[in-house]
């Protein structure tokens, strides 16, 4: 099997409401859909949604770097996903988002060539129920509390609360939300690097009685070495997110004692190949993991769900981003079911396509 064509589509998808974190706000998400086609016309799909503050990419750089990568990948075997990943890294450093979209598409093609769902091709099996949380966007205390109550009424049992723009207000936010939703709802928090070390320790100790599952990336990712003091002085577990890009970071973080849990995102890891390497590090050291994303469509989150079925150590599921979108351009793929459980189709590869009518409206680039 050889790669004969790689296509890139720039897709703008408006959100139902503004999504805010300590890193900024957005009203629209822009995805890059990638279609890799072999010499027999079989196609694999991938996606990334570049978020500059974390991965240093934009939709425009994805097209530029994507073209550079695609020109070198023509006539390579897409089933050799390790070779594809290493070749992309030799071509250019970083740019993990666009690399991930190509990597996912190659994995999709690989599984389709085996005529089996991707999780089987990657060595997984379905032995657990995957149920997503819902993320409460950063806002006023009153608005966030009302949003949390609304999502509980919609049946969500786990909420992720965005914090990090004001430490004192953050404490008020989480206390208000816990009081409103009661003790039966699981709460987790994400500061998106917004606190100093001192603020993190203060905030997390203020939350000691609130039964918080964990806190994602409390301080600046470049100061990951300060997380050890946070962990030693916090009643809340610490999850590495922005400081965890790939398996090399995973080993560094766990060996240094800088985190309790991993948050794996394909847009950070350069795709499924390196994400599976992170899972191997987690399995070696017994680190629980979360699978999340960057407000992508159901395409990316279908790949996420396949990945989640590879290891019992994947215990946390932050797979709600497609619910933020005003419309859904994906045909097939993962489905949200009762109680917000997620089902993936028993079809080859990812079991999905991108709407042809939608793609006609997208700016595109073809390399063949």
Considering the domain architecture, whether residues 359 and 220 belong to the same structural domain is answered as: no
Considering the domain architecture, whether residues 340 and 259 belong to the same structural domain is answered as: yes
Tell me what the mean pLDDT of segment 33-39 comes to: 97
Model pLDDT, residue 162? 98
Considering the domain architecture, whether residues 239 and 338 belong to the same structural domain is answered as: yes
Quick one: angle between helices 272-285 and 247-256, nearest 10? 20
The model's confidence at residue 42, banded by pLDDT at 50, 70 and 90, is very high
Model pLDDT, residue 69? 98
- Catalytic residue, chosen from 99, 151, 160, 265, is 265
Considering the domain architecture, whether residues 200 and 339 belong to the same structural domain is answered as: yes
Q: Two tokens at 227?
A: 């997380």
- Catalytic residue, chosen from 162, 268, 274, 277, is 162
Tell me what the mean pLDDT of segment 284-291 comes to: 98
- The CATH number of the domain holding residue 148 is 3.20.20.120
SS3 214: strand
- Catalytic residue, chosen from 190, 246, 249, 296, is 190
CA-only gyration radius of the chain, Å: 20
The model's confidence at residue 248, banded by pLDDT at 50, 70 and 90, is very high
Beta bridge partners of 365: 8
Considering the domain architecture, whether residues 240 and 255 belong to the same structural domain is answered as: yes
Q: Give tens-digit pLDDT for 313-345.
A: 999 999 999 999 999 999 999 999 999 999 999
- Catalytic residue, chosen from 47, 108, 133, 216, is 216
Where helices occur in the chain by DSSP H, the ranges are: 52-55, 59-73, 81-91, 96-113, 118-121, 141-153, 167-181, 197-206, 227-232, 247-256, 266-269, 272-285, 298-308, 356-360
The model's confidence at residue 115, banded by pLDDT at 50, 70 and 90, is very high
For the question of residue 216 being annotated catalytic, the response is yes
Considering the domain architecture, whether residues 33 and 54 belong to the same structural domain is answered as: yes
Where helices occur in 233-355 by DSSP H, the ranges are: 247-256, 266-269, 272-285, 298-308
CA-CA distances (angstroms) from residue 146 to 143, 158, 166, 188, 337?
5, 15, 19, 17, 24
Q: Give tens-digit pLDDT for 46-97.
A: 999 998 989 999 999 999 999 999 999 999 999 999 999 999 999 999 999 9
Considering the domain architecture, whether residues 240 and 312 belong to the same structural domain is answered as: yes
The model's confidence at residue 258, banded by pLDDT at 50, 70 and 90, is very high
Q: Give tens-digit pLDDT for 130-162.
A: 999 999 999 999 999 999 999 999 999 999 999
For the question of residue 241 being annotated catalytic, the response is yes
Nearby residues of 337 by Cβ (< 8 Å), 6 or more positions away? 343
Residue whose pair of structure tokens reads 């790939």 in the numeric block: 246
Considering the domain architecture, whether residues 180 and 222 belong to the same structural domain is answered as: yes
- Comparing C-alpha atoms, which of 180, 109, 115 is closest to residue 141? 180
Model pLDDT, residue 121? 98
123-137 core/surface letters (b: 16 or more CB in 10 A; e: else): ebebeeebbbbbbbb
Considering the domain architecture, whether residues 288 and 185 belong to the same structural domain is answered as: yes
Average pLDDT for the chain: 97
Considering the domain architecture, whether residues 55 and 184 belong to the same structural domain is answered as: no
Apex CA 348: angle with CA 7 and CA 102, to 5°? 30
HEC string for 31-68: EEEEEEEECCCCEEEEEECCCHHHHCCCHHHHHHHHHH
Quick one: angle between helices 59-73 and 96-113, nearest 10? 50
Query: Rounded to 5 degrees, what are φ and ψ at 203?
Result: -60, -45
Tell me what the mean pLDDT of segment 266-282 comes to: 98
Range(s) of the domain holding residue 148: 121-352
Tell me what the mean pLDDT of segment 193-205 comes to: 97
- Catalytic residue, chosen from 7, 47, 57, 241, is 241
Tell me what the mean pLDDT of segment 258-264 comes to: 98
How many domains are contained in the chain? 2
For the question of residue 150 being annotated catalytic, the response is no
Model pLDDT, residue 349? 98
SS3 4: strand
- The CATH number of the domain holding residue 94 is 3.30.390.10
Tell me what the mean pLDDT of segment 213-231 comes to: 96
Tell me what the mean pLDDT of segment 10-21 comes to: 96
Model pLDDT, residue 244? 98
Considering the domain architecture, whether residues 108 and 125 belong to the same structural domain is answered as: no
Model pLDDT, residue 344? 97
Model pLDDT, residue 184? 97
Considering the domain architecture, whether residues 192 and 295 belong to the same structural domain is answered as: yes
Q: Give tens-digit pLDDT for 161-178.
A: 999 999 999 999 999 999
The model's confidence at residue 280, banded by pLDDT at 50, 70 and 90, is very high
For the question of residue 265 being annotated catalytic, the response is yes
The model's confidence at residue 23, banded by pLDDT at 50, 70 and 90, is very high
- Comparing C-alpha atoms, which of 1, 9, 274, 266 is closest to residue 111? 1
Model pLDDT, residue 143? 98
For the question of residue 4 being annotated catalytic, the response is no
């Amino acid at each position: 099997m050889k790669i004969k064509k790689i296509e890139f589509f720039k897709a703008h998808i408006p959100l139902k409401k503004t999504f805010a974190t300590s890193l900024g706000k957005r009203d629209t998400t822009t995805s890059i859909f990638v279609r890799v086609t072999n010499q027999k016309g079989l196609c694999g799909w991938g996606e990334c949604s570049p978020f500059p503050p974390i991965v240093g990419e934009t939709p425009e750089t994805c097209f530029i770097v994507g073209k550079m990568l695609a020109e070198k990948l023509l006539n390579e075997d897409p089933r050799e996903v390790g070779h594809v990943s290493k070749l992309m890294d030799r071509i250019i450093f970083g740019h993990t988002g666009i690399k991930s979209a190509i990597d996912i598409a190659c994995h999709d093609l690989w599984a389709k060539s085996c005529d089996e769902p991707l999780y089987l091709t990657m060595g997984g099996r379905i032995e657990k129920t995957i149920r997503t949380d819902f993320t409460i966007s950063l806002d006023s205390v009153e608005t966030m509390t009302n949003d949390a109550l609304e999502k509980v009424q919609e049946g969500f049992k786990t909420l992720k609360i965005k914090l990090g723009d004001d430490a004192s207000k953050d404490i008020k936010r989480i206390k208000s939300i816990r009081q409103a939703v009661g003790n039966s709802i699981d709460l987790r928090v994400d500061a998106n690097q917004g606190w100093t070390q001192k603020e993190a320790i203060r905030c997390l100790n203020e939350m000691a009685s609130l039964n918080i599952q964990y806190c994602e990336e409390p301080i600046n990712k470049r100061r990951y070495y300060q997380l050890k003091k946070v962990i030693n002085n916090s009643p809340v577990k610490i999850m590495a997110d922005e400081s965890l890009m790939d398996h090399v970071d995973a080993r560094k973080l766990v060996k240094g004692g800088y985190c309790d849990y991993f948050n794996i995102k394909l847009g950070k890891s350069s795709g499924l190949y390196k994400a599976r390497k992170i899972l191997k590090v987690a399995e070696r050291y017994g680190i629980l993991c979360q699978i999340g994303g960057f407000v992508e469509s159901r395409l990316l989150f279908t790949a996420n769900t396949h990945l989640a079925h590879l290891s019992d150590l994947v215990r946390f599921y932050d797979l709600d981003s497609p619910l933020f979108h005003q419309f859904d351009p994906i045909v097939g793929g993962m489905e949200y079911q009762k109680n917000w459980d997620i089902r993936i189709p028993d079809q080859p590869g990812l079991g999905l396509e991108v709407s042809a009518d939608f793609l006609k409206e997208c700016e595109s680039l073809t390399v063949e």
